[in-house]
Each structure stands twice: as structure tokens, then as C-alpha cells.
């Protein structure tokens, strides 16, 4: 079942347009720009006037006269130059709410043709702690994964681990410089390996010879050197374990834990296909593919460097082939920093030239940077890179300040509180990340992101907990048939009626902020409703039951939407 209100109205309009002999493509409504005048508006009369060579108001009146006969409409009027304003009957809205309340999908539509969508997010690298950039990728990607699933697509998420390339050679070289050999390699944990990598980074910046050594080791390792491969396996394992811990805490799920290394074999195939198609050029020791000189010329793609190593680009091209061949992807979506836009443009164009992903939609959803108050990339207090674990810790400390202490007085055990603090802290970080347009960067609101008031995660979680408490207090009042008796109930119901459209738009635009905006507005609409429309103190039992039903429905939708954003909804939210 789908309960998409505007589609229902469109159908009615269409019928009237057909009866009048008007082109029904103009028979569409949108939410009214003037909610004080109407619920929906149709601007079709203006376009029709030109075709019919009539006054738009005259056309509007003709439509309005017929439409007014419909039992679902309380009022149809023509305003201004020819806008058609439509107001629904309260009974119609109430009946729709009953339908939505009965439906486990809350009347949300599904996509007409389900697609297999491979989703590439996370993208952490070996031996590096995850920073806020990896946070954004994981948070946005996970939310979109849940949304795709909800609308009926088949998402497959892949972490695309950065486990190949020069960093490996750099770490190995650094360990050899320190120990003389790789014998102790397997005793090193993630912190030690990260420290080696940091040192190697500094050394390679200053010293050309060290850089050359790392490069040679990388090439030998990629060529399958047994000792290097053994060491690499260890580095990869401890890195993946650390990353898994982080993502687990964040509630970010991956179906596949593949990495750049898994694409290595296919890179040879890519080179071969390029060669067969006459696209491969040998240039200055490297194998490259030139891209078309469009109006925005792009640099050529380097497939294989002069030392025989495949590039980041080659790996991504090969990975696309695997995702198409093995996973049967209809669509591949990358949630990666928008500073990598050129990389993806080059990769997608090369894939097109090679013909390895016919009819597959390739999409890069580029996101902006997380900044500090100074507008520069978000740093720790002492100016270092903000790691994900630091950020979670900081958020937890902040949330803990507004929670009560464990013990008899609060009625919470330390364990329960820790779990709550984690749910709220992670929710706060995620909501802050998802509340802005993805492409734009945002300033991390250190003082406000974990507030229980304002457009924050905790505010929405608190709204859910509050409805839970309302329902507990009114447990004897069973949710019943919905009736609309005042403006606040009406506003809340009309907000709920928008849900399906909101979710579908969010999926189409791959933009979770559409949901975060909506969930905030819905929580606010509930607040106004609750402040004016008592449940226990309602005029009669029917109205009380209706309000209980509206409260429950709102709560269930808020929980579902938080889930789609990747945020948990605690049953209770105690305050200090």
C-alpha cells in the first residue's frame, strides 16, 4: 500500500482535466506555498491558458467548479493570476492517517524497478587512524544504505580498504630500518604500526633515498614477494580489526570488506582490455590512457607507473569491473570527499571508453570538509588531526554532562548509562553530519551539537523518549480511530502525509539531509500538537484515542527515520 497524498489528488485532477479536454500533464499539485490559504496548489491553469488561449483565471474556474464536487475537498478556489488552491476535508486527512497507522511502511512507496546498488564508503587506509573525513563517508554511506534498502533496492556496501600502494612499502622500509629485518613484524600492534607509518612519512618527505627504497619495496611486494606479503597480511589484519571496532561503535555496516589489494589481478585485465582497444599508450615509462579533450580537458589516466605499480585510478577501474561482473551492479555509488571529484571523473570516463560497465550508473557523491570554528579542517585542541575515536570520546564526555549519575536516585546502572551515553553521543555526531547539504562542508558546532534543544540528534531522540513517556502515562487510553479536531492535529497529520515523498526524494537525490530536515520539522509539529492537544484531558474518549494514535504514529515514524539516518532511539532519555 502506498498513501501518497499528492498522487491521489493528481489522479482526481487528471480526471477533471480529461473531462474538460485539457492536457493532463499539467494536472499536478504541490504542497501549498500559502498554507494559510490551502493544503495543495496547482499552477497548471497558467500553462494551459497559453495553449488554450484563454484567461488563466477562467481556466482555473472551470477546473475548480468540477473539482469542488469531489467529496474529499473542503474548498477549491482560484487565487491571484490563476492559482488553484485546494483544501482537504478533515475527514479525508483523518482517514489517510488511519491507513498510514495500519501500514508497517507508513504508506511509503517503493521503487518501481529494484536495483542492485554497490555502495563504496568508509575507505579507510591501513596503518592510519580514521579521521573525521572517514567519519563523513561512513555516516553518509550507511544512512544511504539503509534508505536504499527501505525503498526496495538491494544495496551492497563495500569498505574499499586502502591496503595497497606506497604506504605498505613505507611501513616495511621503516620496520627494516628499525629492526634490520621483518622478524618482529607480527608482534607489532596497530599503535606501533601507525607509529612506524608516521615516522616513515616524515622520513620520505625529507629524504629522496628513503622514498626510493619504499617505492622499490612496494613494487616487489606488489609483485608477490613472499616475505613482504606475509608482513603485509599482518598489517592489514590489525588495521582491519581496529577499523571494525570504530565502525561498530558508529553503527556503520559493511557487507564486504574488500580492499584495493583485491583488485590487483583485475588491473592486469584492465591493461589488456585497454591495449586491445588501442587505448593504451606508453608515455615516459608509464602506461596511460588519454581522455577526450572535452570542454574541460582532463589529464590522462595513469594505469601503470614506470616502476610497474598500478595506480589508485587503475585499482578503482578494476574494482568497477569486478562489481559489475561479480556483484551484477546496476549502480555504483561512491561517498568520497569532493576533493576527489577529478579522480572519479577520470575513472568513470575511462570505464566508459573501455566498455566494461555498460548500462551501469556510476555516481560520485562528493561531500565537503568538516571544519572547526576557524573555517579550517577540524583539529584537536592542540592542533592535531581529529581522529574518529577522539571525536567519539569528546562527544561522550559532553553527553555525560547532561545525564544523571548512576545509582539508586536516578534508577540507572552504570552499564545502562554508558549504553545511553554512547547512543546519544554517536547520534549527536551523526545528526550534525547529516543535517547539512552533503556537498557543503560544515563547521563542527562544538558547543551545540550535543544539546537537547535545537536541530540536533539528541533533540530528536528526546522527542521519541518524550512520546514514550506520554504513552506510558496514558497507557489506559488505547490508540483509536483518528479524528481531526484542531489546527495542530491537522498540521501534524499533513506533515506525516509528506513522508513517502520525502523518503523518495532523499533516495533520488542521495541526500540524507532531506530526511534530517523532515524529522526535525516532524518533531516540532508533534511538540506544537502535544502542547495544545491533551490526551487524558481530551473532550471525549474518541478524541483521546485519536490523539493517542497520532502520538504513537509520530513516535514510530520518528524511530524509523532515525534508523534511516543510522541513529538509535533510546526508550528513555534521563536528564541530569
Sole binder of ligand ARG in the list 125, 474, 500, 554 (CB under 6 A): 125
Residue closer to ligand ARG (CB basis): 100 or 322: 322
Of 336 and 523, CB closest to ligand ARG: 336
- Cβ contacts of residue 419 below 8 Å, gap of 6+? none
CA distances from 269 to 266, 353, 431 (A): 5, 15, 42
Interaction of residue 259 with ligand ARG, rule CB under 6 A: no
Of 118-126, 215-223, 401-409, 484-492, which segment contacts ligand ARG by CB under 6 A? 118-126
Residues in the interface with ligand ARG (CB under 6 A) total: 8
| Min dist. Cβ of residue 120 to ligand ARG (A) | 5
**Mapping DSSP to helix (H, G, I), strand (E, B) and coil, where does residue 536 land?**
coil
| Cβ-based neighbour number of residue 286 at 10 Å | 17
List 123, 165, 427, 570, residue binding ligand ARG (CB under 6 A): 123
With residue 288 as reference, give the H or E element that holds it: strand 286-289
Could you tell me the sign of the dihedral formed by the alpha carbons of 378, 384, 386, 390, in that order? negative
Q: Which is nearer to ligand ARG, 336 or 567 (CB)?
A: 336
Q: Cβ–Cβ contacts within 10 Å for residue 552, how many?
A: 17
Determine how β-strand 83-88 pairs with β-strand 73-79: antiparallel
Single out the segment in contact with ligand ARG by CB under 6 A; choices: 3-11, 117-125, 363-371, 435-443.
117-125
Q: Could you give the string, one character per residue 136-175, with x where binding to ligand ARG holds by CB under 6 A and - elsewhere?
A: ------------------------x-x-------------
Q: Which residues is 162 bridged to in the sheet?
A: 125
**In the complex with ligand ARG, which residue's Cβ is closer, 60 or 162?**
162
Nearest residue relative to ligand ARG (C-beta):
123
Instruction: Compute the distance between CA of residue 38 and CA of residue 317 in angstroms, rounded to an integer.
Output: 52
Nearest distance from C-beta of residue 127 to ligand ARG, angstroms: 12
Output 304 or 316, the one with its CB closest to ligand ARG.
316
Rounded to an integer, what distance in angstroms lies between the CA atom of residue 545 and that of residue 536?
9
CB of 492 to ligand ARG, least distance (A): 41
The span of 68-76, 85-93, 119-127, 376-384 binding ligand ARG (CB under 6 A) equals 119-127
**Segment contacting ligand ARG by CB under 6 A, of 120-128, 148-156, 348-356, 445-453:** 120-128
Give whichever of 141 and 479 is closer to ligand ARG, judged by the CB atom: 141
Nearer to ligand ARG, 243 or 551 (CB): 243
Minimum gap (Å) between residue 128 Cβ and ligand ARG: 8
Taking every pair of Cα atoms in the chain, the longest distance, rounded to a whole number of angstroms, is 91
Q: Which strand (E) or helix (H) includes residue 467?
A: helix 457-473
**Beta-bridge mates of residue 86:** 40, 76
Using the rule CB under 6 A, is 367 a contact of ligand ARG? no
Q: The cell 499533513 sits on which residue?
A: 494
- Compute the least distance from the CB of residue 123 to ligand ARG, in Å: 3
Report the residue number, 260 or 488, with the smaller CB distance to ligand ARG. Answer: 260
346 binds ligand ARG per the rule CB under 6 A? no
Question: Which of residues 27 and 243 has its CB atom nearest to ligand ARG in the complex?
Answer: 243
Q: Which is nearer to ligand ARG, 110 or 343 (CB)?
A: 343
The alpha carbon of residue 20 and the mean position of all alpha carbons in its chain are separated, in whole angstroms, by 44
Q: Determine if residue 47 is left, alpha or beta; phi over 0 gives left, psi from -120 to 50 gives alpha, anything else beta.
A: alpha
The phi-psi region of residue 171 (left if phi > 0; otherwise alpha if psi is between -120 and 50; otherwise beta) is alpha
Picking from 52, 69, 57, the residue whose alpha carbon sits closest to that of residue 16 is 69
Residues of this chain, 278-337, that bind ligand ARG according to CB under 6 A: 316, 334, 336
Q: Using CA atoms, how far apart are residues 479 and 549, in angstroms rounded to an integer?
A: 4
CA 107/CA 104 separation, integer angstroms? 8
Footprint of ligand ARG (CB under 6 A): 120, 123, 125, 160, 162, 316, 334, 336
Amino acid at each position: 500500500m502506498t498513501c501518497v497524498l499528492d498522487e491521489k489528488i493528481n489522479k482526481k485532477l487528471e480526471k477533471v482535466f480529461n473531462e474538460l479536454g485539457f492536457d493532463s500533464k499539467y494536472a499536478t499539485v504541490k504542497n501549498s506555498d500559502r498554507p494559510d490559504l490551502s493544503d495543495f496548489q496547482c499552477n497548471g491553469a497558467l500553462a494551459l491558458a497559453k495553449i488554450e488561449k484563454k484567461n488563466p483565471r477562467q481556466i482555473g474556474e472551470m477546473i475548480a467548479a468540477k473539482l469542488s464536487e469531489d467529496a474529499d475537498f473542503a474548498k477549491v478556489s482560484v487565487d491571484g493570476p490563476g492559482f488553484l488552491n485546494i483544501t482537504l476535508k478533515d475527514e479525508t486527512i483523518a482517514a489517510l492517517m488511519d491507513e498510514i497507522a495500519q501500514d508497517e511502511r507508513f504508506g511509503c512507496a517503493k521503487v518501481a524497478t529494484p536495483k542492485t546498488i554497490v555502495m563504496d564508503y568508509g575507505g579507510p587506509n591501513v596503518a592510519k587512524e580514521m579521521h573525521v573525513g572517514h567519519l563523513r563517508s561512513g555516516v553518509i554511506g550507511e544512512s544511504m544504505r539503509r534508505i536504499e534498502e527501505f525503498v526496495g533496492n538491494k544495496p551492497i556496501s563495500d569498505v574499499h580498504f586502502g591496503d595497497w600502494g606506497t604506504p605498505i612499502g613505507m611501513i616495511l622500509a621503516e620496520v627494516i630500518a628499525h629492526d634490520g629485518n621483518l622478524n618482529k613484524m607480527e608482534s607489532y600492534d596497530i599503535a606501533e604500526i601507525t607509529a612506524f607509518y608516521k615516522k616513515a612519512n616524515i622520513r620520505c618527505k625529507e629524504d629522496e633515498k628513503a622514498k626510493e627504497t619504499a617505492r622499490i619495496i612496494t613494487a616487489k611486494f606488489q609483485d608477490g614477494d613472499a616475505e613482504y606479503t606475509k608482513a603485509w597480511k599482518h598489517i592489514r589484519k590489525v588495521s582491519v580489526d581496529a577499523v571494525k571496532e570504530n565502525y561498530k561503535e558508529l553503527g556503520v555496516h559493511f557487507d564486504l570488506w574488500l580492499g584495493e589489494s583485491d583488485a590487483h589481478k583485475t588491473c592486469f585485465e584492465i591493461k589488456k582490455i585497454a591495449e586491445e582497444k588501442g587505448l593504451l599508450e606508453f608515455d615516459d615509462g608509464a602506461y596511460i590512457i588519454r581522455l577526450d579533450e572535452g570542454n574541460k580537458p582532463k589529464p590522462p589516466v595513469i594505469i601503470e607507473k614506470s616502476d610497474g605499480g598500478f595506480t589508485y585510478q587503475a585499482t578503482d577501474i578494476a574494482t568497477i569491473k569486478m562489481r559489475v561482473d561479480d556483484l551484477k551492479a546496476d549502480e555504483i555509488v561512491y561517498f568520497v570527499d569532493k576533493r576527489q571529484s577529478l579522480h572519479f571523473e577520470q575513472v568513470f570516463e575511462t570505464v566508459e571508453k573501455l566498455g566494461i560497465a555498460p548500462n551501469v550508473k556510476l555516481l560520485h557523491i562528493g561531500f565537503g570538509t568538516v571544519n572547526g570554528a576557524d573555517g579550517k579542517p577540524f583539529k584537536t585542541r592542540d592542533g592535531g588531526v581529529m581522529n574518529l575515536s577522539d571525536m567519539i570520546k569528546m562527544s561522550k564526555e559532553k553527553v555525560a554532562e547532561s545525564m544523571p549519575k548512576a545509582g539508586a536516585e536516578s534508577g540507572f546502572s552504570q552499564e545502562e548509562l554508558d549504553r545511553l551515553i554512547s547512543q546519544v553521543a554517536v547520534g549527536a555526531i551523526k545528526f550534525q553530519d547529516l543535517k547539512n547539504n552533503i556537498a557543503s562542508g560544515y563547521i563542527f558546532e562544538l558547543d551545540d551539537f550535543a544539546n537537547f534543544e535545537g536541530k540536533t540528534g539528541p533533540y530528536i531522540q528526546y522527542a521519541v523518549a518524550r512520546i514514550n513517556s506520554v504513552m506510558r502515562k496514558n497507557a489506559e487510553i488505547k490508540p483509536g480511530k483518528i479524528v481531526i479536531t484542531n489546527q495542530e492535529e491537522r498540521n501534524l497529520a499533513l506533515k506525516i502525509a509528506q513522508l513517502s515523498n520525502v523518503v523518495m526524494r532523499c533516495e533520488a537525490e542521495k541526500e540524507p539531509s532531506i530526511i534530517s530536515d523532515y524529522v526535525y520539522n516532524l518533531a516540532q509539529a508533534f511538540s506544537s500538537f502535544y502542547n495544545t492537544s491533551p490526551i487524558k484531558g481530551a473532550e471525549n474518549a474518541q478524541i483521546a484515542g485519536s490523539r493517542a494514535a497520532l502520538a504513537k504514529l509520530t513516535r514510530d515514524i520518528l524511530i524509523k527515520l532515525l534508523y534511516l539516518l543510522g541513529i538509535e532511539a533510546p526508550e528513555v532519555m534521563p536528564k541530569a
